[in-house]
Chains A and B, each alone.
Chain A
Amino acid sequence: MALSAPRDQHTTDTVLNARSDARAQGGQSTEWMPYLPASSSPFAPAGTDPASLVWGEVVAPGGYTHKVVARGTRIRFDDPTGNACANLVVYNALEPTERLNVADTQKIPWQAYLGAGHPLLSGDGRVLASIVADTSGRHDAFCGTSTDAWNERKYGDSRPEGPTPSGRGLLVKAAAKHGLGRRDLPPSISLFQGVRVDSDGQLGWQGSAGARTYVELVAELPLLVLVANVAHPLDPRTDYVVGPLHVHAWRGRATGPTDARFGTAPELERAYLNTIDYAEARGL
């Protein structure tokens, strides 16, 4: 039996009928959606106290999300399929001119590849977020995310509402919801799809480490987080393949002198000192 057309499934000839029809649609769930309250997420990471969750969401393939989280918040990204690609930009939520600086994030730690212990640095000598756990090891701070020009060349279409959206197109919308424009989008990083540099400088796509890996960040300042979940620009597959991305966050504590990671490198220690200095002066 053929399913009836959408038009035939709704009685909306009066305001009261339309209201009833709309209200009857509540309470459903789907594969990608935010969970509110966050404690109701069916994908809450093992070992977390659901009551402490402040963010529980499955980001659709080709979707984006964004949130402001408090200093100390722990943010976890899960790639359940091995095909997620979390393109991230982070800002100091109090002064968004302070934002992710990918050059400093690679240069200051003397390390181009992101992993556990790596700071996400701003251009102001502070740590916006720390990578504190990583079971993937396949990330990229070189290629940024796709632009409209790239996706039009590669797939023939880049529309954010289409089947092959560009990451930049989505980040532009996420940024706009916080009063930020194109000029406020610096180079981004991406999680779960690795890139490595060979001796000639060639950038090679590694792809993912497989299904069910995760990365955890600690917000070292009040953080505006923008996330676009789109195919990596160097993904060699002809088709546009991207899986769902789980995002959870819960209340926690910013890095301090008693944490082992605080003093693992002199550059890192001074970056944390700068961050704490700022937070203390602001009364955070």
Chain B
Amino acid sequence: MTMISSTVPVGASFAAGSELDWAQSLVPGLVVLDERVPPNAPWSGVVAAGQVLTIVDVGGNQSGDCLMYNTADHEERYSVPDTLTWEQNAYVSTGTVLRSSEGRPLMTVVGNEIDRHDTIGGACSKESNTLRYGHHVMYHHGCRENFLAEASRHGLGVRDLVSNLNWFMNVPVETDGALGIVDGLSAPGRRVAVRAEMDVLVLVSNCPQMNNPCNDFNPTPLRMIVVEPS
């Protein structure tokens, strides 16, 4: 294929020479899915009950914005407040049960190679980018755009987008309530593994944000591996 030129301003990709570590599944088992998500792109997949999804942070500190739905009833979906309330903790780490809007377990973090993940900061969007950075960034790509595009493949729309989880993103809450996205705690090849507690549709946006440190200002790929644990 010949390269064509284009006048379209597209998002950034990782710099030449960036360290990439594709790693392997964090838990042993029969691989039933193994896909690579390019920088800036959305992804979705179904993880059946009992299967384990490993997400590899291939280039390090790449936020993977994530939403989950019960495949049998998409109205039951990931709920940040239920997850936080049942855990009585603001961060996601090993053992965290990711709960639905009905308070039921969707997935459980069964393996984890970084201190904690964020589920407070939500997703970036073209619209919220205008608040945070100014109207000049309106045509930057955002996670909400990825979620809308990928959700539409499953019959879901804007009514179905709720507060999400951000794998490999770091959002501390300080004692006075100050909160924000700061430099990440991850590195190339670090992984998290989540076991499905029911059949779950997983949507991921490989975050294209270039105005804050949620991907180290260097968007890199993610690898998604689903195994039937052995």
Q: Is B203 an interface residue (CB 8 A)?
A: no
Selected interface stretch from B16-24, B38-46, B98-106 = B98-106
Residues B101-140 near A (CB distance < 8 A): 101-104, 116, 120-123, 125-132, 134-135
Bound: A215/B135 CA distance, A: 32
Residues B122-163 near A (CB distance < 8 A): 122-123, 125-132, 134-135, 144, 157-163
A143 touches B85 (CB 8 A): yes
Contacts of A202 in B (CB 8 A): 88-90
Binary per-residue interface labels of chain A (178-194) against chain B in the complex, 1 for a CB within 8 Å, 0 otherwise: 00011111111000000
B127 touches A108 (CB 8 A): no
Partner of A145, one of B81, B102, B163, B164: B81
Known contacts A112-B173, A187-B79, A274-B130, A107 near B84 by CB under 8 Å: no
Q: Is B180 an interface residue (CB 8 A)?
A: yes
Chain B CB within 10 Å, residue with most, of A102, A183, A184, A186: A183
User: What class of interface size applies to chain A in its complex with B?
Assistant: 35 or more
Known contacts A103-B123, A144-B80, A271-B131, A187 near B163 by CB under 8 Å: yes
Residues B151-184 near A (CB distance < 8 A): 157-164, 171, 173, 175-181
Contacts of B160 in A (CB 8 A): 183
B131 touches A270 (CB 8 A): yes
Bound: A3/B102 CA distance, A: 43
Binary per-residue interface labels of chain A (99-113) against chain B in the complex, 1 for a CB within 8 Å, 0 otherwise: 001111011101111
Q: Is A43 an interface residue (CB 8 A)?
A: no
Binary per-residue interface labels of chain B (189-230) against chain A in the complex, 1 for a CB within 8 Å, 0 otherwise: 000000000000000000000000000000000000000000
Q: Is B75 an interface residue (CB 8 A)?
A: yes
Contacts of B163 in A (CB 8 A): 101-103, 186-187
- Chain B residue at smallest Cβ distance from A150: B103
B103 touches A148 (CB 8 A): yes
- Chain B residue at smallest Cβ distance from A107: B121
B85 touches A107 (CB 8 A): no
Contacts of A168 in B (CB 8 A): 101-102
Chain B proximity of A86: nearest CB distance (Å): 15
B103 touches A123 (CB 8 A): no
Partner of B159, one of A101, A113, A184: A184
Bound: A101/B122 CA distance, A: 9
Chain A CB within 10 Å, residue with most, of B86, B131, B158, B176: B131
Known contacts A101-B122, A150-B86, A187-B163, A107 near B135 by CB under 8 Å: no
Bound: A199/B178 CA distance, A: 12
- Residues of B within 8 Å of A, CB-based: how many? 52
Partner of B131, one of A97, A144, A182, A274: A274
Q: Is A142 an interface residue (CB 8 A)?
A: yes
Chain A CB within 10 Å, residue with most, of B88, B134, B181: B88
B179 touches A144 (CB 8 A): no
Chain A proximity of B77: nearest CB distance (Å): 8
Partner of A108, one of B76, B79, B132: B132
Bound: A268/B128 CA distance, A: 11
Q: Is A200 an interface residue (CB 8 A)?
A: yes
Contacts of A157 in B (CB 8 A): none
Known contacts A108-B131, A113-B177, A267-B132, A123 near B161 by CB under 8 Å: yes
The 7 closest A-B pairs by CB, nearest first: A103-B122, A144-B81, A125-B127, A149-B103, A113-B177, A147-B103, A201-B91
List 16 A-B residue pairs with CB atoms under 8 Å apart, sorted by A's residue number: A97-B158, A102-B163, A106-B179, A107-B128, A108-B128, A110-B179, A112-B177, A112-B179, A124-B127, A182-B75, A187-B162, A188-B81, A197-B173, A201-B90, A203-B85, A274-B131
